[in-house]
Amino acid sequence: MVGDAPPVDRMTNSRTPVLLIAALLAPALIGLVVFRLYPIALAAGDSFFNVLRGQRVFVGFDNYIALLTDSIFWNSLWVTLWFNLLINPIQIALALGLALLYVQQFKGVTFYRILFLIPIGVSLPTAVIIWRIMLSQDGLVNGVLGIAGVPAQPWLTAQSLALYSIIAIATWKGISYWMIFIIGGLQNISPEIYDAAKVDGVKPWQQLFYITIPLLRPTLLFVLVADVSINFLLFAPIFMLTQGGPADSTNVLMYEAYKSGFIFGDMGRAMAIIVVVVAILLVIVGLQFRLLSGKGAR
Amino acid sequence: MSMSSNPVRQGLSLGAKHLVYALVAFVFVLPLWWAIVSSLRPNAEVFADIFPFTAKALLPSPASLEAYTGVFERGFGMIIANTLIVALITMAAGLVVNGAAGFAFAMFDFKGKKYILTAIIISFMLPFEAIALPLYTVTQQLGWLDNIAALIVPSIANGLAVFLFYQFFSQVPKDYAEAARLDGVSWINILLRIYVPLSMPTCISAALLLFIFQWEAFLWPLLAMPSQQFKVIQVGMAAFQQQYQTIWNQLFAVAVITALIPIALLLPLQRYYVQGLAGAGIKG
């Protein structure tokens, strides 16, 4: 993807100001190395240690081996995967739909466009607080559903509903943001293609599935990768709403790692979980990048 | 889009269009609207008119500002000030640091450039949450726990901001820089006099990005400030939620304040924000 960087011009070759380049790059690179790369190396290192009575003890792969037979970990892994299998396709499909609405031109569309952007300004913790009260037993959602005769539901306290309520909240908060990237992709499609399709009598749904989505592929894959990365590590709603419950039904790996390290003081296990999470994430992202650089990518 | 000549059909399809848009917009606006309405009610009235549901539930009557004064009496003004300090310093430093890096990538060719740039892009694809727990250990080693530096310094370098600047500076015709170089203008002056003024839209979208990133930060401030003497807004709000579970109207007031400040920034500048990020998606 960096491949389509502009051709670097000739003039810089002869007398490249090395010191200047170094000075310009140093702050950003030092920041990224110290606060992004080094912590990952540190996590990998710390996952081979345990702290026993204040002493740091090297335990090899013990933390990882312990995870293998740890039913809480396996449940947590399953919850994380199931959560992501649902939320990512839902968010991307809705973001695409929203982007298609956003780019239409008609009188008054600007007003709607502004309203579509509102969740971007609402942080996830804010959304969580508002939705928690809206989803409470005597809250607004149950009130509105009550008009249709639906009995009040325990959205956040029932084992069968809590995970899906979190998906709904995160989706409400997230899709406006992903919409923006898709808008960029849509604006990049030349209008002549649509004109030609119209002349050929292509129906709107055919246009969507055979023209728009294939041409959006690079953008959609970018959004997919970024969205999966965020949802795989989602933390705030679980921390604020359910603390992993009820009955561990929302206990995603990120929360399990936090609990391990900061509630039970077992940093070795926490780091091992983080390493596993990041490793799984990298495999998923790697697979997606292979799709990204496959046919259809520019 | 439709070429239909029948005005009745056209009017109908326009009506249907507005209906669809209004429904979608309603879903986005409702939570915030209800929060605003509820924050203006006395606490005992927050759940009024919901069972059975009537439209009055969406109107702030009776209205009072009691919840807002209550929130500030509990010290929320301090929390807002803290967050603004953190976010504004990060924004200012981030513009300089990431802008400089983006400029270097766009203007010069050097060994390993492609790899460094790829590493930077991957670093921003990997969310902050992934490194938050190990970053705690780094911060401990630096002795920065409970220090405001722990909130600011790790967030200054931002891969997405570097990429936005890189992308923008790459599009500026090289003739400008070449002509200036021939006239003996130094690189620093080329950057400051030519490129920075040109890049104002990118600066705005990068500034918004950095500001919103800090405004929304939750997990990291939760870990990095264990004594909770210096609270930023998301953590303060979560703590408020745990502490004052049933003071609904004040909870809503806190949520509304927390949401309205970034929205007030975003709405007038949305054009830059949307164009900036939309461009990043295509290139990425």
The backbone region for A6, taken as left when phi is positive above 0, alpha when psi lies in -120 to 50, beta otherwise, is: beta
Give the minimum alpha-carbon distance from A69 to chain B in angstroms, rounded to a whole number: 23
Q: Name the more confident of B55 and A149.
A: A149
On the question of pLDDT at A96 being above 50, the answer is yes
- CB spacing of A117 vs B267 below 8 angstroms: yes
On the question of pLDDT at B220 being above 90, the answer is yes
For residue B218, which of B233, B206, B207 has the smallest C-alpha distance? B233
- CB spacing of B277 vs A180 below 8 angstroms: yes
Share of chain B above pLDDT 70, in %: 95
Q: Identify the H or E element spanning A280.
A: helix A267-292
Positions of E strands within B50-138: none
What ipTM score was computed for the predicted complex, to two decimals? 0.82
Contacts of B277 in chain A (CB under 8 A): 180-181, 184
For chain B, domain boundaries: 7-64, 69-283
Alpha-carbon dihedral sign for residues B53, B54, B57, B62: negative
CATH dotted code for A60-292:
1.10.3720.10
Using pLDDT thresholds of 50, 70 and 90, give the confidence band for residue B84: very high
Q: Name the more confident of B133 and B55.
A: B133
Contacts of A277 in chain B (CB under 8 A): 130
Q: Is it true that domain B69-283 has CATH number 1.10.3720.10?
A: yes
Cβ contacts of A294 within 8 Å, gap of 6 or more: none
Question: Which pLDDT does position B277 carry in this prediction?
Answer: 80
For chain A, domain boundaries: 60-292
Report the chain A residue with the minimal C-alpha distance to residue B258: A126
* Residue-wise pLDDT tens digits, B221-253: 999 998 888 999 999 988 888 888 788 889 999
Question: Which pLDDT does position B45 carry in this prediction?
Answer: 80
Distance of alpha carbon A268 from alpha carbon A274, whole angstroms: 10
| Of the partner residues A13, A30, A285, the one whose CB lies closest to the CB of residue B109 | A13
Does a cis peptide bond (omega within 30 degrees of 0) precede residue A246? yes
On the question of pLDDT at A199 being above 60, the answer is yes
- The token pair at B223 is 């870990």
Distance of alpha carbon B87 from alpha carbon B152, whole angstroms: 8
Alpha-carbon dihedral sign for residues B113, B119, B124, B125: positive
